[in-house]
């Protein structure tokens, strides 16, 4: 289909896709290379199956859990590493087998339609940019406003355009805002981009800039919660349905916005520190509530909880999203409120945590069948509680 | 670099990759924080102090 696109649009789409895929797989690729090339460690069984060739994650394709082979350099998850299917707090061995076996007749499968790099980068840029702009405009900090606007309007805008693909689709995304979250988000994004741009033009009269800032802030509030509400309406994926998802995304965005805004300001006002701490506490609490809700849900929900807490997404959801993205900024805010260096580290940590959290929630999405496959083992076998 | 390959069990390998990933993420945080400091300095040079900072006695004059 992309061959029929005009050449400049095709080049733009391909470039954006290559950049986001590289950025997404870079951390995992570096980590695997450090272990394989640095330590010389390989997982059990790999040497026997391929004695003459040690696969390099940067040049060789990975075999995914669903049997697909990713092209070189396009891995998003190092899924060639076997996931222990034995003990889990959330699912029994049979349920884990339904997901991990890769057999087509077992219809539990990880989402691959929305859980793509463009989507989580879009969400990350939109969330942190909109929140940074709003917090900075409240603190009357033009640097923060400019950076927030550039992140949301520039970063998210480029990815949205690349995602849209064909130019003729552009007017259609604004249609039916009464029923579609895509249309609502597009209007909010338009208001934010236009209002934010006008608010940053220093030669305009102050009343015009104040009005534009108000318009941009209205759009920014919608942008900060929009991603979670949008996921909430994807009914096929159980783990995106809880009400905690939009609340978690919003709290996390506000916390990252407060941290980044504080890092970009000459001094961080006390109210901004309090906002960061309160939203960080809310974000951490909502993460815990979200996992509890998933753990009490149906098989697909519990398999998603297992992915987030014990499985492939643990490093992103718990370590990067929870510890680095929430705890580190809070500790730095409390311990070193006046240090510019500490505020810069807090802002960077919150930004990294925000991206990883959205990515983890997206990648832990599991499609469920209408009816579970027949059981061959007793219910609960292999669960640790 | 030595070409010796050591086989480890899946759990150990996973833990090593997790630890290495944490190290890479912390490195990214460090690099980003330097970038944030540079942007903050450039922004202050470009836009000046936040409005009201000097009135509150907290600007860098």
A82 within some domain: no
Query: What is the pLDDT, as a whole number, of residue A104?
Result: 65
Query: What is the pLDDT, as a whole number, of residue A145?
Result: 95
Burial of A73 (0-12, 13-18, 19+ CB in 10 A): middle
Share of chain A above pLDDT 90, in %: 53
Cα distances (Å, whole numbers) of residue B6 to A1, A38, A41: 46, 11, 5
**In this complex, is the C-beta atom of A309 within 8 Å of any C-beta atom belonging to chain B?**
no
How many C-beta atoms lie closer than 10 Å to residue A51's C-beta?
9
Q: Mean pLDDT check: name the lowest of A64-68, A151-155, A271-275, A324-328.
A: A64-68
A residues 79-138 closer than 8 Å to B (CB): 81-82, 84
Q: What are phi and psi of A293, to 5 degrees?
A: -60, -45
The whole-angstrom separation of Cα B6 and Cα A30 is 19
Q: Is the pLDDT of residue A95 over 70?
A: yes
Assign A136 a pLDDT band (cuts: 50, 70, 90).
very high
Mean pLDDT across A178-186: 87
Assign B52 a pLDDT band (cuts: 50, 70, 90).
low
Q: Report the interhelical angle of B10-47 vs A142-149 (nearest 10°).
A: 130
pLDDT tens digits, A152-170: 999 999 998 888 877 788 8
CA distance B15 to chain A (A): 10
Share of chain A above pLDDT 70, in %: 86
Give residues with Cβ within 8 angstroms of A374, minimum separation 6: none
> String of b and e for A319-347 (b: at least 16 CB within 10 Å)?
bbbbebbbebbbebbeeeeeebebbbbbb
A55 within some domain: no
Mean pLDDT across A56-82: 42
The whole-angstrom separation of Cα A82 and Cα B38 is 42
Assign B60 a pLDDT band (cuts: 50, 70, 90).
very low
A18 within some domain: no
CATH number, residue A309: 1.20.1630.10
pLDDT tens digits, A185-214: 899 999 999 999 999 998 999 999 999 999
**In this complex, is the C-beta atom of B61 within 8 Å of any C-beta atom belonging to chain A?**
no
Mean pLDDT across A228-241: 88
A6 within some domain: no
Of these ranges, A55-69, A189-203, A227-241, the one predicted with the greatest mean pLDDT is A189-203
CA distance B36 to chain A (A): 6
A325 within some domain: yes
Domain span at residue A226 reads 117-367
A103 within some domain: no
Q: Is the pLDDT of residue A59 over 50?
A: no
Assign A224 a pLDDT band (cuts: 50, 70, 90).
confident
Q: Which residues of A touch B17 (CB under 8 A)?
A: 31-32, 35, 78, 81
A17 within some domain: no
Subunit contact A41:B32, Cβ cutoff 8 A: no
Q: Is the pLDDT of residue A53 over 90?
A: no
Question: Per the structure, how many domains does chain A have?
Answer: 1
Q: What is the CA radius of gyration of chain A?
A: 22
Q: Which residues of A touch B4 (CB under 8 A)?
A: 40
Query: What is the pLDDT, as a whole number, of residue A222?
Result: 92
ipTM score assigned to the predicted complex:
0.82
Q: Is the pLDDT of residue A57 over 70?
A: no
- pTM equals 0.85
Query: What is the pLDDT, as a whole number, of residue A45?
Result: 76
Query: What is the pLDDT, as a whole number, of residue A67?
Result: 38
Q: Which residues of A touch B61 (CB under 8 A)?
A: none
Query: What is the pLDDT, as a whole number, of residue A81?
Result: 42
Q: Report the interhelical angle of A206-232 vs A117-138 (nearest 10°).
A: 140
Q: Is the pLDDT of residue A333 over 50?
A: yes
Query: What is the pLDDT, as a whole number, of residue A48?
Result: 55
Assign B3 a pLDDT band (cuts: 50, 70, 90).
low
Assign A58 a pLDDT band (cuts: 50, 70, 90).
very low
Q: Is the pLDDT of residue B18 over 60?
A: yes
Q: Is the pLDDT of residue B50 over 90?
A: no
pLDDT tens digits, A24-51: 899 999 999 999 998 888 888 776 554 4
A383 within some domain: no
């Amino acid at each position: 289909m992309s061959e029929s696109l005009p050449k400049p649009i095709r080049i733009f789409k391909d470039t954006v896709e290559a950049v986001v895929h590289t950025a997404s797989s870079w951390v995992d690729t570096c980590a695997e290379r450090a272990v394989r090339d640095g330590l010389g460690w390989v997982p059990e069984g790999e040497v026997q199956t391929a004695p003459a060739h040690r696969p390099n994650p940067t040049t060789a394709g990975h075999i995914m859990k669903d049997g697909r082979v990713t092209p070189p350099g396009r891995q998003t998850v190092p899924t060639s590493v076997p996931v222990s299917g034995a003990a889990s707090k959330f699912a029994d061995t049979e349920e884990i087998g339904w997901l991990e076996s890769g057999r087509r007749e077992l219809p539990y499968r990880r989402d691959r339609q929305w859980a793509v790099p463009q989507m989580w980068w879009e969400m990350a840029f939109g969330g942190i940019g909109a929140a940074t702009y709003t917090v900075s405009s409240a603190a009357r900090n033009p640097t923060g406003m400019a950076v927030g606007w550039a992140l949301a309007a520039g970063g998210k805008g480029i990815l949205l355009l690349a995602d849209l693909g064909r130019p003729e689709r552009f007017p259609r995304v604004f249609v039916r805002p009464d029923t579609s979250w895509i249309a609502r988000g597009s209007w909010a994004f338009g208001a934010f981009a236009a209002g934010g741009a006008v608010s940053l033009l220093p030669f305009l009269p102050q009343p015009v800039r104040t009005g534009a800032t108000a318009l941009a802030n209205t759009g920014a509030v919608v942008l900060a919660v929009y991603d979670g509400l949008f996921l909430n309406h994807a009914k096929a994926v159980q783990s995106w349905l809880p009400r905690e998802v939009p609340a978690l995304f919003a709290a996390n965005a506000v916390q990252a916005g407060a941290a980044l805004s504080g890092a970009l300001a000459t001094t961080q006002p006390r109210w901004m520190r309090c906002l960061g701490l309160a939203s960080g506490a809310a974000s951490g609490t909502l993460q815990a509530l979200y996992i509890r809700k998933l753990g009490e849900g149906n098989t697909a929900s519990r398999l998603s909880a297992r992915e987030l807490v014990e499985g492939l997404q643990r490093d992103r959801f718990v370590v990067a999203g929870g510890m680095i993205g929430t705890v580190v900024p809070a500790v730095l805010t409390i311990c070193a409120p006046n240090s510019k260096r500490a505020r810069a580290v807090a802002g960077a940590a919150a930004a990294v945590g925000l991206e990883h959290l959205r990515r983890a929630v997206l990648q832990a999405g599991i499609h469920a069948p209408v009816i579970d496959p027949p059981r061959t083992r007793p219910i609960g076998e292999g669960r640790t509680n | 670099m030595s070409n010796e390959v050591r086989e480890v069990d899946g759990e150990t390998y996973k833990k090593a990759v997790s630890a290495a990933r944490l190290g890479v993420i912390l490195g990214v945080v460090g690099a980003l924080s330097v970038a944030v400091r540079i942007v903050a300095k450039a922004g202050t040079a470009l836009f000046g102090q936040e409005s009201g900072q000097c009135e509150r006695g907290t600007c860098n004059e």
